[in-house]
Chains A and B, each alone.
Chain A
Amino acid sequence: MEDAKVIENLRSVVLKESASLEGSCDRINGYDFNQGVNYSQLLKSFAFTGFQASNFGDAIQTVNQMLEWRLSHEQVTEDCSEEEKNPTYRESVKCKIFLGFTSNLISSGVRDVIRYLVQHHMVEVIVTTTGGIEEDIIKCLGDTYKGDFSLPGAALRSKGLNRIGNLLVPNDNYCKFEDWIIPIFDQMLVEQNTQHVLWTPSKLIARLGKEINNESSYLYWAYKNDIPVFCPGLTDGSLGDMLYFHSFRSPGLVVDVVQDIRAMNGEAVHANPRKTGMIILGGGLPKHHICNANMMRNGADYAVFINTAQEFDGSDSGARPDEAVSWGKIRASAKSVKVHCDATIAFPLLVAETFAATREKTTNPNSSS
């Protein structure tokens, strides 16, 4: 009798009665390859695979919400204008998407995925670092090659090869970039002095997009579709080197960052009644610049961060969306997710299940996914 009681007590300690998760939490269920190699189903299964795959699944869901939201989904507010009360108008009002990425992604093949988004006007504001500008242009002038992380630096230097991770960019590409861009700066200086043009980073970038005139370039499409590309750190890259050299031969070119911060913050502040969404690949300047702009409108409504940075060092790059909530950069009510993954893997797959899938449905309504 005693033993039975002891065993019973032990049981209730070791095997503590658990709360039922049935109905409140999703079941973990990975992809079954017995159903064939169906990539779309495989990606959909990530949501129920756990860890970062599940975060990735959440990211897909969040981006699809950005794409599906219409003002007509919201209640009509008391103080809105007549136009805003019109149901047809409300159907047409969509979420404004900010896309940010670091320059290494433009050196990588993700540049072509971004070009697709810009080509089809699927994002409205872009923020990147200087490399994100020049690498796109340079790829129209010369190729980037696959190398290896372990290639020794001194040997590469002697051969005039620059390493970006496991990619290689020959020096010659930068020489071509210099030969291409200096005459453009000369012309811009003339326009500044004779037509009183005051250049800003975004205007300069739009001009480069116009001049490169190449459909493989995302900057070309950004120029064509009137999508502003902000780069407040414009001097921190090869483009900055070119501005530096140009200033010796033909001094006087002015690039105004103040006008651009007005424009960037304005994109967020004047977005209402639209919702805003942020898709940010990597950390650093692009991540903060977009979040900060959205702070001006009391926070974005959707946020997807894809990066490999960690928060333990207090960096902004590694900060999770919840930290941004404390700053008012993301609304407390917003849907946000961070996918801890290299964007070269996560982003093409994300676009496949969101932007591209949506576009496929609208352009090929009869095809099955």
Chain B
Amino acid sequence: MSDEEHHFESKADAGASKTFPQQAGTIRKNGYIVIKNRACKVVEVSTSKTGKHGHAKCHFVAIDIFNGKKLEDIVPSSHNCDVPHVNRTDYQLIDISEDGFVSLLTESGGTKDDLKLPTDDTLLTQIKDGFAEGKDLVVTVMSAMGEEQICALKDIGPK
């Protein structure tokens, strides 16, 4: 992502850290976890009790929230894991530029122009088509670990 300063402005908790520690044994399915420096959503947790393999361990299977890749990790259940702060902010879609960037209306009335269109085909088509038809669209931007991406779309125009 480009401008650090711009980035902090758009986050509700500017200046706060990107992750917080949480004991591995307390992280549940559908929670979030950082694996290999990627923010991920947990899809499976299994715990093996203390035994010949040493301390009790939690086996996490998680999906990278930005690129959808499956990642795994095994952590002793008493150790701390990093959990990402995941924020969702809604912005009104103002414009789509030729090179694939979107222009969004911020709360303060300014514009946020550093975000690209999402890579997910369905969402991409919906945005492009909706915008071309002149609909009033609001996008939800998910942000975590210094990365942002449009993850959802709402049509707020009159039916």
What is the 8 Å Cβ interface bit string for chain A, positions 199-213, against chain B (1 contact, 0 not)?
000000000000000
Contact of B74 among A175, A238, A248 (CB under 8 A): A248
Instruction: Point out the residues of chain B lying under 8 angstroms from A242, CB to CB.
Output: 53-54
Which secondary structure dominates chain A's binding surface? helix
Say if the beta carbon of B72 comes within 8 Å of chain A: yes
Q: State A244–B50 Cα separation when bound (angstroms).
A: 15
Contact of B54 among A160, A241, A248 (CB under 8 A): A241
**8 A Cβ contacts from B79-112 to A:** none
Interface size for A (C-beta < 8 A) is: 15
Q: Is the CB of B50 within 8 A of A177?
A: no
Q: Is the CB of B54 within 8 A of A174?
A: yes
- Which of B53, B54, B73, B75: most chain A Cβ within 10 A? B54
Name which residue of chain A comes closest to B73, CB basis.
Answer: A248
**8 A Cβ contacts from B43-66 to A:** 50-55, 57
Name which residue of chain A comes closest to B48, CB basis.
Answer: A241
Q: State A179–B53 Cα separation when bound (angstroms).
A: 11
B145 to chain A, nearest CB (A): 19
Instruction: Point out the residues of chain A lying under 8 angstroms from B75, CB to CB.
Output: 248-249
**8 A Cβ contacts from B115-150 to A:** none
Q: Is the CB of B53 within 8 A of A248?
A: no
Name which residue of chain A comes closest to B36, CB basis.
Answer: A251
A326 to chain B, nearest CB (A): 38
Q: State A244–B73 Cα separation when bound (angstroms).
A: 11
Q: Is the CB of B72 within 8 A of A175?
A: no
A235 to chain B, nearest CB (A): 12
A175 to chain B, nearest CB (A): 5
Instruction: Point out the residues of chain B lying under 8 angstroms from A171, CB to CB.
Output: 50-52
Q: Is the CB of A177 within 8 A of B54?
A: yes
Instruction: Point out the residues of chain A lying under 8 angstroms from B73, CB to CB.
Output: 248-249
B7 to chain A, nearest CB (A): 29
Please give 17 more A-B residue pairs, beta carbons under 8 A apart, in addition to A162-B52, A248-B72. A171-B50, A171-B52, A174-B50, A174-B54, A175-B55, A177-B54, A178-B53, A238-B52, A238-B54, A241-B54, A245-B53, A245-B57, A245-B74, A248-B73, A248-B75, A249-B73, A249-B74
In the assembled complex, 27 residue pairs joining A and B whose CB atoms fall closer than 8 Å, in A order, are A162-B51, A162-B52, A171-B50, A171-B51, A174-B50, A174-B51, A174-B53, A174-B54, A175-B50, A175-B55, A178-B53, A178-B54, A179-B54, A238-B52, A238-B54, A241-B52, A241-B53, A241-B54, A242-B53, A244-B74, A245-B54, A245-B57, A245-B74, A248-B72, A248-B73, A249-B73, A249-B75
